[in-house]
C-alpha cells in the first residue's frame, strides 16, 4: 500500500509542480542582457529542473533547481520544486523545510497545500495530511478538488480506513464523474469489502471512459466470481489470455483456469441432476404410500407377501445409495487437492502493489493477510517484502 500510494501521489505531485511553474521557454536570448529578469530566469530553470526529474536525471535537475533558487529565493514555486526534489531523493528533513517556506510564501496556493498533504501522508502524519488536503479543497480558486479527494482516499486507505476512503472517492466523482482512475480505485475498494453489486456498477462506468487493461480485466474477473457468475468470470479470464498473454495477471488466471472450469461445469449440471433426483424421490414416496395402503387393506397372507414384495421394490438399490453418498465427497476431495496444488505460500511485494491488490490476486481477505503477517494496518508493507499467504501453522522458515 505504501508503495502504491507513493507512486500515485508522485504523479500528481509532478503534475502540480509543472503546472505551477509553467513550461520551459524556447527563447532565452534576452535573459542575460541588460534587463535581466530574475523571476523569469528562475521559472525557466525550475521548469528545466522538473523536466530532468521527470526523465530521472537527478544531477541535471539539481543543478537547474539550485540556479533557480539563486535567481529568486522568494519564489514559492521554486521552494515548492526544491521540496519535491528532496522528497523524491528521500531527504525528508530538507523537503519539510522547503515545503514550509513555500506554504509561508503562498498560503493560498492549493497545489502546494495538496502536495504538502501528500508528503505528510507518506510520512504517516495522517491528521496533518488531512488538514492540508482540505486547505486545498476549500480554496475557491483551486481547480483540482477531484485529485485532492483522490489523494485523501489513498491516504485513508493506507491507514486501513476503507469506509472513509470510499467516501472521499465518491466526493471526487462529484467533481469529475468520468474520472477513470477514481472509478477504478472505487471499484477496487467495493470489491475488497465484498460489495459486489456496487463494484460491478462502478467498474461498468470505468469501462465507458477508460481503455481495457489487464488490471481492469482481472478486477472484472474477481467481481464476477464474487457474484457467483462463473461463466462471466471465465469470459473475462479468456479475454486476458487473448489480449494480454504476457501479463502477470493473465498467468495468475491460467493457474486458476482448470479449477474454475470444473466449477462452471458443476454449476451447469447441478440443476437438471437435482431435478431428476427430486422426481425419483417423489416417485419412491408415492410407491411407499401405495404399499402402506395395500398392506392395511389386505388380510390374506398371499396379499401380505405381495405387499412385502412391493415394499422391497420401492427401496433404492445399493448402487444408487453408493452414488448419492460418495460422489459429493469425492468431488470435494478432488477440489481441495487442486486448490492445495495451486496455492502459493508467500508473495513478494512488487513496486506499486498494495495489500488490497495482493488480496485480490490470491483471493484472501485483507484482514486475514494482516493477521497471518502480524501487520498493524494495510499500509505496513513495502516493495521487496515477503508476505505469508498461509496461516502460521503452515508457515515454514
Q: What is the pLDDT of residues 227-282, one digit of tens each?
A: 999 999 999 999 999 999 999 999 999 998 888 777 766 665 554 444 444 455 45
Exposure string for 165-177, b = 16+ CB within 10 A, e = fewer: bbebbebbbebbe
Cβ atoms of 157 and 356 within 8 Å: the answer is yes
Of the listed ranges 20-29, 333-342, 373-382, the one predicted with least confidence: 333-342
How many alpha carbons fall within 13 Å on the CB side of residue 52?
Answer: 17
Strand partners, 386: 348
Asked if pLDDT for residue 372 goes beyond 70, the answer is yes
Write the Ramachandran bin of 351: left for phi over 0, alpha for psi from -120 to 50, otherwise beta: beta
Residue 99 has pLDDT above 90, yes or no: yes
- The reported pLDDT for the residue numbered 163 is 95
Alpha-carbon separation of residue 28 from 32, 37, 43, 49 (angstroms): 8, 11, 12, 16
Please, are residues 176 and 182 in contact by the beta-carbon 8 Å criterion? yes
Q: Which pLDDT does position 69 carry in this prediction? A: 96
Quick check: do 2-143 and 346-394 share a fold? no
Residue with cell 398392506: 295
367: left (phi over 0), alpha (psi -120 to 50) or beta: alpha
The string of pLDDT tens digits covering residues 57-96 is 999 999 999 999 999 999 999 999 999 999 999 999 999 9
Name the range with the highest mean pLDDT among 15-19, 99-103, 293-297, 379-383.
99-103
Exposed (0-12), middle (13-18) or buried (19+): which is 11, by Cβ within 10 Å?
exposed
pLDDT of residue 394: 85
Q: Which of 18-22, 126-130, 213-217 has the lowest mean pLDDT?
A: 18-22
The pLDDT score that the predictor gives to residue 180 is: 96
Q: Work out the mean pLDDT of the chain and round it to a whole number.
A: 79
CA–CA distance from 367 to each of 57, 359, 363, 386 (Å)? 40, 9, 12, 17
Task: Fill in the DSSP letter of residue 348.
Answer: E
CATH superfamily of 346-394: LysM domain (3.10.350.10)
pLDDT above 50: residue 324:
no
Which stretch of 28-42, 265-279, 307-321, 377-391 has the lowest confidence by average pLDDT? 307-321
CATH architecture of residue range(s) 2-143: Alpha Horseshoe (1.25)
Q: Assess contact for 160 and 379: CB atoms under 8 A.
A: yes
Would you say residue 380 has pLDDT above 80? no
> Lowest mean pLDDT: which of 118-127, 154-163, 290-299?
290-299
pLDDT band at 326 (very low <50, low <70, confident <90, very high): very low
Tell me the three cell numbers of residue 37. Answer: 529578469
| CB-based contact 158:1 (threshold 8 Å) | yes
> Is residue 392 very low, low, confident or very high in pLDDT (cuts 50, 70, 90)?
confident
Selection from 397, 348, 353 nearest residue 379 by Cα: 353
Q: What is the DSSP letter of 376?
A: S
What confidence category does residue 115 fall into, taking pLDDT thresholds of 50, 70 and 90?
very high
pLDDT band for position 341 (50/70/90)?
Answer: very low
Is the C-alpha dihedral spanning 253, 259, 265, 271 positive or negative?
negative
**Could you tell me the residue ranges of all domains in the chain?**
2-143, 346-394
Amino acid at each position: 500500500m505504501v508503495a502504491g500510494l507513493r507512486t500515485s501521489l508522485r504523479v500528481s505531485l509532478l503534475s502540480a509542480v509543472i503546472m505551477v511553474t509553467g513550461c520551459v521557454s524556447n527563447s532565452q536570448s534576452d535573459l542575460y542582457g541588460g534587463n535581466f529578469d530574475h523571476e523569469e530566469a528562475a521559472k525557466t530553470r525550475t521548469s528545466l529542473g522538473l523536466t530532468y526529474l521527470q526523465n530521472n536525471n537527478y544531477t541535471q535537475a539539481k543543478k537547474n533547481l539550485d540556479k533557480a533558487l539563486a535567481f529568486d529565493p522568494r519564489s514559492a514555486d521554486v521552494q515548492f520544486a526544491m521540496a519535491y526534489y528532496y522528497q523524491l531523493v528521500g531527504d525528508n528533513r530538507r523537503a519539510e523545510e522547503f515545503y514550509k517556506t513555500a506554504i509561508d510564501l503562498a498560503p493560498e496556493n492549493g497545489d502546494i497545500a495538496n502536495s504538502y498533504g501528500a508528503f505528510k501522508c507518506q510520512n504517516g502524519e495522517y491528521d496533518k495530511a488531512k488538514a492540508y488536503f482540505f486547505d486545498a479543497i476549500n480554496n475557491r480558486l483551486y481547480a483540482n478538488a477531484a485529485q485532492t479527494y483522490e489523494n485523501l482516499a489513498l491516504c485513508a486507505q493506507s491507514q486501513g480506513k476503507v469506509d472513509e476512503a470510499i467516501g472521499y472517492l465518491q466526493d471526487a466523482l462529484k467533481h469529475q464523474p468520468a474520472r477513470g482512475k477514481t472509478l477504478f480505485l472505487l471499484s477496487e475498494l467495493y470489491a475488497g469489502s465484498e460489495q459486489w453489486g456496487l463494484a460491478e456498477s462502478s467498474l461498468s462506468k470505468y469501462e465507458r471512459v477508460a481503455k481495457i487493461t489487464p488490471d481492469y480485466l482481472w478486477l472484472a474477473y474477481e467481481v464476477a466470481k464474487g457474484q457467483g457468475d462463473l461463466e462471466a468470470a471465465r469470459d473475462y479470464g479468456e479475454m486476458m489470455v487473448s489480449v494480454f498473454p504476457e501479463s502477470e495477471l493473465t498467468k495468475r488466471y491460467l493457474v486458476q483456469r482448470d479449477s474454475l472450469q470444473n466449477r462452471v461445469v458443476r454449476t451447469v449440471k447441478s440443476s437438471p441432476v437435482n431435478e431428476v433426483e427430486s422426481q425419483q424421490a417423489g416417485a419412491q414416496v408415492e410407491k411407499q404410500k401405495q404399499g402402506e395402503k395395500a398392506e392395511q387393506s389386505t388380510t390374506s397372507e398371499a396379499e401380505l407377501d405381495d405387499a412385502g414384495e412391493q415394499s422391497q421394490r420401492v427401496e433404492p438399490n445399493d448402487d444408487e445409495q453408493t452414488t448419492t453418498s460418495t460422489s459429493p465427497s469425492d468431488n470435494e476431495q478432488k477440489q481441495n487437492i487442486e486448490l492445495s496444488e495451486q496455492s502459493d505460500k508467500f508473495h513478494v511485494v512488487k513496486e506499486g502493489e498494495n495489500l488490497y491488490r495482493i488480496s485480490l490476486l490470491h483471493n484472501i481477505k485483507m484482514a486475514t493477510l494482516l493477521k497471518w503477517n502480524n501487520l498493524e494496518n494495510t499500509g505496513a508493507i513495502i516493495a521487496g517484502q515477503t508476505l505469508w499467504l498461509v496461516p502460521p501453522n503452515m508457515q515454514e522458515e
